[in-house]
Homo-oligomer: A and B are copies of this chain.
Amino acid sequence: MSDDTPSSEARLRLRIFFGDDVMLGPGKADLLEHIRETGSIAAAGRSMKMSYKRAWSLVEEMNRSYREPLVDSSRGGTKGGGASLTQAGESVLAHYRRIETIIAREAAEEIAALQTMLVDMSDGK
């Protein structure tokens, strides 16, 4: 975080729509990642400031959309239920992250060209 950090740093957000119903985007990818980290759908949701209901609904939607469920979970129970990524969940997350990496790398020149056209936000203009 030096003073040279441009305030117009670019962040990319990709949504992939499959047919009319299935979407994969940054929110679902982050949710999968947080489930892996926390071992819990509720905790993953909380860490994203997402309601319990919303987090469950996204997991159920993902599990319905792929041939194999992406998240393995036991709802409720004394410990509030645990959750982990299945092999399919790990795979979907890895594909999405690789796509993000590819975009950042391959589109870097075009994005840099756009940045030079922006108002310079760092000097208060």
Cβ A111 vs Cβ B99 within 8 A: yes
- Residues of A contacting B: mostly: mixed
Cα A38 to Cα B6 in complex, Å, equals 36
A106-B117 contact in complex given A12-B16, A18-B9, C-beta closer than 8 Å: no
Which size class do A's interface residues fall under? 35 or more
Residue in contact with A19 in the complex, picked from B9, B67, B98, CB distance below 8 Å: B9
Asked whether A58 is an interface residue with its Cβ less than 8 Å from the other chain, the reply is no
A13's partner among B14, B107, B118 (CB-CB below 8 A) is: B14
Instruction: List residues of chain A with CB under 8 Å of any chain B CB.
Output: 6-22, 24, 64-68, 88, 91-92, 95-96, 98-99, 102-103, 106-107, 110-111, 113-115, 117-121
